[in-house]
Chains A and B, each alone.
Chain A
Amino acid sequence: MRRGDRLPGVWIAPGAVDDPRGLLRFGPLGRVAVPVGPVVGGRGGRGAAAVHGTGPGGVEHDEAPGLDLVEAVDRLRWCATRDLRALVAVRGTTPGEPATLAGRLCRGLEGDSVAAVEVDLRGADDQHCLRVLARVREETPRDLLLLARLSALQPDLVGCARAAVAGGAGAVVVCGAVPLGPGRWWSGPSTAAVCRSGVRALAQAAVEQRWPAVPVVAAGGVHDVPSARAVLREGAQAVQLGSALWADPTVLWAVLDGLDPAAVAGTRTPGPTHPDTHPEESR
């Protein structure tokens, strides 16, 4: 996927689905980029974040421990052998680490499967965003799409988005997860309003020409077609599905179909197995 190409409308959040094999049982993944990561330096964990509890509308969880390079290469190989495209997410403890990780994965034998690289910059300031993205840009193929993952709640969201674009980001992911202290987050449908506020702020800033607007991906609280449409109306060009897939993995195809102009125009019939198309369900 190249910078400037039309952005796919639906993405899968790398932290929420750490093993795409589960998803593949419910439908083909040809229409989405399979998440690989977050990839971290040193020894990663197994990818899945510990969940501390659940409550109305969300789950309280740790930061995903991340995959190490060896595991990430394995996952990329899994994608390559199935002819699937991957979204590689990278996270680093130093400004240069995400670039090193992304570079290694893009240059490796399975590099052709990398459709885009997402860099986790939640909580960073604008200078850090610029430095990190610029390094990642240098280490990855020239036109590869880079996404900057920012928090809707970071103090200078617009400044960080501007810096990320200056560093080479072709899209910005606005994450609605609420920080609950170091390494802890609240995610789920209840964060939809947080995510929408971030998307709105960027849309408004774009109108005022306070940043050179690139497509915005809304990541937070999207759990069905109406919630996806709601955030698109605020100015996002795409949505990212995360913990909603834990509740129901088939939401992925429901949202893909629901946002697909061909399905909307009636040239494709939406899938019959999701609540949006199953009014008889009573629970």
Chain B
Amino acid sequence: MTGDGPAGPVRTGVVTLARPAGAFDVLSLAVPAGPDWATARPGQFLVVPGNPGRGDALPGLHWLADVSVDPVHGTAVEVAVRAGGGWDVGHRLRLIGPLGRGFGVPTDPVPALVVGHGGSTVPLRWLVARLRARGCPVHVVLSADDPDEHFEVASLRRLAASVRLTAEPDLGRVATQVLEQEPRTGVVYAAGPRATVAQVARAAVAAGRPVRVSALDLAEPVLCGTGLCGQCDLDVSNSAGGRSLRPCLEGPVVPGEQVLDAPR
């Protein structure tokens, strides 16, 4: 490496395991150890650079589904990709990440509500596991356009105090119901398309609960994930005084108040 060549979170991963999970394949990647894996959080993501020479003008972006750091067995990272994506065991690939700011867990073991939609729910099993490890009872509300997109619901049922499945337009209403039934709920988390997380954020704010949302929707067609293209920009001028938010750079996890009335 030159004196000032690319530093930062660029590494090579190897697919060591692939298992089907509904609409997804869950891949385990062996990656070189690094301090940023030990501090990785649900809500962070990986960028797989595009290959413009072969026509891929854009990179692939993937939520981290889990990270395990083991001094003996090495560091393993789980991501979920669309089923049949052609990532076979032994496949080597360059990765940039972990990028972004993930979901933090509360310092006290307060009950938590986790809400998500579709492919954005990939990080939620890991989040719920971390909340449980902190002693937080967790209620989960999920929706998906295709039932196969419910990600690892069986694991979530084992970890969470309750799991409710609903339709996307009802996520805010069901979240409100859970908050009414669980008045001790101390924090709300949401992941999904922008309109969906805004809906949940409004419900949480109306109930007076702190809310953290993932403001980046990886299902959007054009994203660089590295803060350069501006396609993820969120106009938060109404809610936070005349500026726009670049979730892949400043988030993706941000206080829900920032997305309350973001038009996009």
CB-defined contacts of B11 to chain A, threshold 8 Å: 273
- Once the chains are docked, how many angstroms separate the CA of A98 from the CA of B249? 31
- Once the chains are docked, how many angstroms separate the CA of A246 from the CA of B229? 6
**A281 interface residue, CB < 8 Å from B?**
yes
CB-defined contacts of B49 to chain A, threshold 8 Å: 247-248, 250
- Once the chains are docked, how many angstroms separate the CA of A281 from the CA of B13? 9
- Once the chains are docked, how many angstroms separate the CA of A55 from the CA of B92? 25
CB-defined contacts of B59 to chain A, threshold 8 Å: 246-248
**B224 interface residue, CB < 8 Å from A?**
yes
**B84 interface residue, CB < 8 Å from A?**
no
B8 in complex: contacting residue of A25, A31, A247, A270, CB < 8 Å:
A25
Given the known inter-chain contacts A223-B52, A246-B58, A247-B58, please indicate yes or no for A270 contacting B2, CB distance below 8 A: yes
Q: Mark A232-248, 1 if CB is under 8 A from B, else 0.
A: 00000000000111111
Q: Which residues 55-70 of B have a CB within 8 angstroms of A?
A: 55-59
CB-defined contacts of B1 to chain A, threshold 8 Å: 269-273
* A191 → chain B closest CB, angstroms: 10
Q: Which residues 69-106 of B have a CB within 8 angstroms of A?
A: 91-94, 96
* A218 → chain B closest CB, angstroms: 15
Q: Which residues 1-17 of B have a CB within 8 angstroms of A?
A: 1-12
Which of A44-52, A110-118, A129-137, A140-148 sits within the interface?
A: A44-52
* A193 → chain B closest CB, angstroms: 13
- Once the chains are docked, how many angstroms separate the CA of A247 from the CA of B10? 14
Main secondary structure of the interface of B (DSSP, over half): loop
Is the beta-carbon distance between B230 and A46 smaller than 8 angstroms?
yes
- Once the chains are docked, how many angstroms separate the CA of A249 from the CA of B5? 12
Given the known inter-chain contacts A227-B53, A281-B92, please indicate yes or no for A46 contacting B6, CB distance below 8 A: no
**B167 interface residue, CB < 8 Å from A?**
no
**B227 interface residue, CB < 8 Å from A?**
yes
Q: Which residue of A lies closest to B99 (CB)?
A: A25
- Once the chains are docked, how many angstroms separate the CA of A56 from the CA of B221? 14
* A187 → chain B closest CB, angstroms: 9
Is the beta-carbon distance between B222 and A26 smaller than 8 angstroms?
no
Contact-size category for A: 35 or more
CB-defined contacts of B7 to chain A, threshold 8 Å: 26-28
**B228 interface residue, CB < 8 Å from A?**
yes
Given the known inter-chain contacts A26-B7, A271-B5, please indicate yes or no for A282 contacting B91, CB distance below 8 A: yes
CB-defined contacts of A263 to chain B, threshold 8 Å: 2
Is the beta-carbon distance between B228 and A54 smaller than 8 angstroms?
no
* B47 → chain A closest CB, angstroms: 8
**B239 interface residue, CB < 8 Å from A?**
no
A-B contact count (CB 8 A): 164
Q: Which residue of A lies closest to B5 (CB)?
A: A271
**A153 interface residue, CB < 8 Å from B?**
no
Is the beta-carbon distance between A46 and B233 smaller than 8 angstroms?
yes
- Once the chains are docked, how many angstroms separate the CA of A56 from the CA of B52? 9
Q: Which residues 197-236 of B have a CB within 8 angstroms of A?
A: 221-222, 224, 226-231, 233
B246 in complex: contacting residue of A17, A19, A56, A274, CB < 8 Å:
A19
Is the beta-carbon distance between A25 and B227 smaller than 8 angstroms?
yes
**A6 interface residue, CB < 8 Å from B?**
no
* B139 → chain A closest CB, angstroms: 36
Q: Mark B17-47, 1 if CB is under 8 A from A, else 0.
A: 0000000000000000000000000000000
Is the beta-carbon distance between A26 and B226 smaller than 8 angstroms?
yes
B229 in complex: contacting residue of A48, A257, A282, CB < 8 Å:
A48
Q: Which residues 124-169 of A have a CB within 8 angstroms of B?
A: none
Q: Mark B230-264, 1 if CB is under 8 A from A, else 0.
A: 11010000000000101011000000000000000
**A275 interface residue, CB < 8 Å from B?**
yes
Is the beta-carbon distance between B230 and A274 smaller than 8 angstroms?
no
* A90 → chain B closest CB, angstroms: 19
**A23 interface residue, CB < 8 Å from B?**
yes
Is the beta-carbon distance between B91 and A283 smaller than 8 angstroms?
yes
Q: Which residues 216-267 of A have a CB within 8 angstroms of B?
A: 223-224, 227, 243-250, 252-254, 256-257, 260, 263
Is the beta-carbon distance between A254 and B52 smaller than 8 angstroms?
no
Q: Which residue of B lies closest to A260 (CB)?
A: B2
Is the beta-carbon distance between A281 and B5 smaller than 8 angstroms?
no
* B89 → chain A closest CB, angstroms: 12
**B51 interface residue, CB < 8 Å from A?**
yes
Given the known inter-chain contacts A30-B4, A257-B2, A271-B2, please indicate yes or no for A57 contacting B228, CB distance below 8 A: no
Nearest 3 A-B pairs (CB), nearest first? A48-B230, A22-B227, A271-B5
Binding site for A on B (CB under 8 A): 1-12, 48-53, 55-59, 91-94, 96, 221-222, 224, 226-231, 233, 244, 246, 248-249
